[in-house]
């Protein structure tokens, strides 16, 4: 997906409003996959995009590939 590599201001505006950049679904209703750290959750939108929710700041951002791996590794244990 070439779109992923662009720093898109429109996508940032959506995410600042806690909306999915792909389908504009509210991230507050995204499915919580689990915690990746004491203050951060990995959530997945219905369109399969994954985000990190920071519980201290109540903000969302796109999950990095490394964070998804981190989560999958932690889940195996
Ligand atoms: Zn979505």
Residues 6+ apart with CB under 8 A from 61: 15, 51, 52, 54
Name the residues around ion ligand 1, CB cutoff 5 A.
20, 22-23, 25, 45, 47, 49
- Any domain includes 15: no
- Any domain includes 8: no
Domain range for 63 is 29-77
The structural domain count of the chain equals 1
The predicted structure's pLDDT at residue 7: 62
- Any domain includes 18: no
Distance 52 CA to ligand 1 centre (A): 13
The predicted structure's pLDDT at residue 5: 57
Tens-digit pLDDT profile for residues 12-54: 899 999 999 999 999 999 999 999 999 999 999 999 999 999 9
pTM: 0.82
Distance 62 CA to ligand 1 centre (A): 11
Gap between the Cα atoms of 27 and 12, Å rounded = 14
- Any domain includes 64: yes
């Amino acid at each position: 997906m070439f779109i992923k590599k662009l720093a898109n201001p429109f996508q940032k505006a959506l995410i600042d409003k806690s909306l999915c950049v792909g389908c504009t679904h509210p991230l507050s209703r995204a499915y919580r996959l689990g915690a990746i750290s004491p203050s951060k959750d990995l959530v997945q939108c219905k369109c399969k995009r994954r985000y990190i929710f920071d519980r201290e700041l109540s903000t969302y951002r796109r999950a990095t590939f490394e964070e998804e791996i981190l989560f999958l590794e932690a889940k195996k244990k």
